[in-house]
Amino acid sequence: MPLTVEVVTAERVVRVEQGVDVLVAPGSEGQLAILPHHAALMTTLDAGELIIRRASQEDSFVVSGGFMEVNKDRVTILADASEAAEEIDIARAEAARARAEERLRRVREQNARDVDIARAAAALQRSLLRLRVANRRRQRPGPPRV
Amino acid sequence: MPTIRQLKRRIQSVKNTAKITNALQMVAASKMRRAQDRASQAKPYAEKLRTVLAGLASQSGGEGEAALHPLLETRPVRNIAVLHITPDRGLCGGLNSNINRSGGTFVAMQHEPVQVVAVGKKGRDFFHRAHVHIAAEFTDLGDYPTQAETSGISRLIIDDYLNGTVDRVYVSFSEFVTTATQRPVTRQLLPIEPPAMEGDGEAFLSDYIFEPSPEVVLARLLPRYIEMQIYEAVLQNAASFQSAQMVAMKNATDNANEITRELTLTYNKTRQEQITKELLDIVGGAAALEG
């Protein structure tokens, strides 16, 4: 029996997907794939990419931490924040990346003190993750439609 | 008896008021729908979190046993904080006075020193007038507050609790019941009182594989739970405000229409009387000439 996957955040229900064959999630102990008939599991998630694969299509999401519950072929992802790949604003992510890189460059070259390095690094990581998820989708639009 | 001209002017002025209240009613109605929608969008997450927390926390035995996590630990109460959530604006009937009265009474009843964290201008102004210590204020959250905006509130509350500034935290807000009913409620936020477990807690724990461990999952879950509760309260407050405003503005529009109707009646009567009087004068004058 295929999986039913629900991705929810405090603000909205991001996606409910039925008939899922495999789900790949960024677990805090490392990436993990969930197949049908998985044992009941409760795990924390790190920031990363969540992939939901079905026979005909593959959907990918950005997740910025949260929890995942697997129980009787029902997977519930309680994400701190999450977006589907097609919702990502590439221009914005690109701008965020440029901004974060610029800040870090100033620290490196001019020893700037007004920059919160941890914050800039986190922002850079976030933007890179979003770009990766968004671009992967663009390059691989899935199997050709018949 | 007002003159015709005065009556006419009043009718126009009441009609203008009705136009404004009617417009406000329309705006509130559309915002209300969205605010209610957002409140219901938050439900699936909240319910799941509650279930998981209930299961996880059920293993923390009874009284006297060491708490699993600082956010669950009941300490002797020396200082209390009340998170008081109100709208920023008025024109919403009795909503603001109800929530402020309920919050104010609650604060006055406490034996320990209380500090207020005010969300929304109406509550802040109320406690300011009452000379209650306001530790922090958050205003202008807008009609559709986001989680990013409320997470600052949560962080402040959790930090104050963890560093011992306060030993107990309550939240007071207008609960959205129906469009016509909003109820002021006060609930304990910290220490967290885990929701009751439906079914067997032991079974829940042994059925699941926890990664990395139940303790780590719980430690990550608890701050989320607080954040979610505060976010929910803020959303409820927003939905309550729009509903209360819509109802208040609908009543105002109805009243204005009723007054317009009455005034128009008086106006017509007065006009009729005047015409009759003038006619009588003319008829009388003509009769006098002929006579």
> In the predicted model, what is the mean pLDDT of chain B?
89
Domain membership flag for residue B73 = yes
Give the B-side interface with A, CB within 8 Å: 38, 41-42, 44-46, 48-49, 52, 146-147, 207-212, 216-217, 220-221, 224, 227-228, 231
Same domain, B138 and B260: no
Q: Could you tell me if A5 lies within 8 Å of chain B, comparing CB atoms?
A: no
Contacts of A75 in chain B (CB under 8 A): none
Domain count for chain B, please give it: 2
pLDDT digits (tens, 9 = 90+) for B185-219: 999 998 888 777 666 666 676 778 888 888 888 88
As a whole number, mean pLDDT of residues B39-58 equals 84
CB atoms within 10 A of CB B94: 11
Residues B281 and B237 in one domain: no
Structure tokens at B41: 């969008």
Whether B255 is in a domain gets the answer yes
Cα dist from B256 to A23, A82, B127, B244, B264, whole Å? 60, 48, 34, 18, 12
B152 and B75 fall within a common domain: yes
One domain, residues A100 and A74: no
Sign of CA dihedral B108, B110, B116, B120: negative
Pair B237, B106 in one domain: yes
Cα–Cα distance list, A63 to A9, A36, A47, B285 (Å): 10, 22, 5, 93
Residues B271 and B155 in one domain: no
| Residue that is last in its domain, among A43, A64, A85 | A85
Residue with tokens 């209300």: B32
Total domain count, chain A? 2
Same domain, yes or no: A126 and A100: yes
- Mean pLDDT, range B79-92, rounded to an integer: 94
Out of B41, B45, B208, name the one closest to residue A42 (CB): B208
Residue A86 in this model has a pLDDT that exceeds 70: yes
Residues A66, A16 share a domain: yes
Q: Which residue range(s) make up the domain with A130?
A: 88-139
Is residue A145 included in any domain, yes or no? no
Residue B275 — very low, low, confident or very high, per pLDDT cuts 50/70/90?
very high
DSSP E strands in chain A: the ranges are 3-8, 13-20, 22-27, 30-34, 41-53, 58-71, 74-79, 82-84
Distance CA A58, CA A137 (A): 9
Q: Are residues A129 and A61 in the same domain?
A: no
Token pair of B64, please?
């006297």
Q: Kindly state whether residue B40 falls inside one of the protein's structural domains.
A: yes
Together in a domain, B177 and B278: no
Flag whether B26 is in a domain: no
**Pairwise CA distance, residues B81 & A25, whole Å:** 39
Tell me, what's the pLDDT at A137?
64
For residue range B228-240, list pLDDT tens digits in order.
999 999 999 999 9
Determine the average pLDDT of the residues in A50-72: 89
A77 and A119 together in one domain: no
Q: What is the CATH number of the domain that holds A119?
A: 1.20.5
**Mean pLDDT over residues B71-100, rounded?**
92
DSSP-derived 3-state class of residue B166: coil
The answer to whether residue B83 sits within a structural domain is yes
**Residue B259 CB-density burial (10 A; 0-12 exposed, 13-18 middle, 19+ buried):** middle
Q: Is residue B78 part of a domain?
A: yes
A41 vs B41, B46, B211: nearest CB: B211
pLDDT at B59: 62
DSSP B13: H
Q: Which residues of B touch A28 (CB under 8 A)?
A: 211-212, 216
Instruction: Tell me whether residue B85 is in a domain.
Output: yes
Question: Is residue A144 in some structural domain?
Answer: no
Q: Is residue B290 part of a domain?
A: no
* Residue B73 in this model has a pLDDT that exceeds 50: yes
Does one domain contain both B45 and B154?
yes
Do B136 and B240 belong together in one domain? yes
pLDDT at B289 over 90: no
State the pLDDT at residue B63.
Answer: 44
Query: For B147, which of A11, A41, A71 is closest by C-beta distance?
Result: A11
Tell me which residue range forms the domain holding B55: 31-248
Tell me the three state secondary structure of residue A31: strand
> Are B237 and B183 in the same domain?
yes
User: What are residue A3's DSSP bridge partners?
Assistant: A20
Q: Are B226 and B266 contained in the same domain?
A: no
Same domain membership, residue A34 and residue A81: yes
Q: Residue A10: which CATH number?
A: 2.60.15.10
Q: Domain holding B42: CATH number? A: 3.40.1380.10
Is the pLDDT at A133 greater than 90? The verdict is no
Q: What is the pLDDT of residue A37?
A: 92
**SS3 state of residue B162:** helix
- Closest-CA distance, B215 to chain A, in angstroms, reads 11
Q: pLDDT tier at A107 (50, 70, 90 boundaries)?
A: confident
Same domain, residue pair A125 and A72: no
For A56, counting Cβ atoms within 10 Å of its Cβ (0-12 exposed, 13-18 middle, 19+ buried), the class is exposed
Would you tell me which residues 13-32 of chain A have a C-beta closer than 8 angstroms to some C-beta of chain B? 13, 27-29
Q: Write out chain A residues lying below 8 Å of B224, CB-based.
A: 67, 78, 80
pLDDT class of B1 with cuts at 50, 70, 90: low
For the stretch B235-260, pLDDT in tens is: 999 999 999 999 999 999 999 999 99
Decide if A146 is inside a domain: no
At B54 the pLDDT is 82
Q: What is the ipTM of this complex?
A: 0.78
Same domain, B231 and B181: yes
B166 and B255 share a domain?
A: no
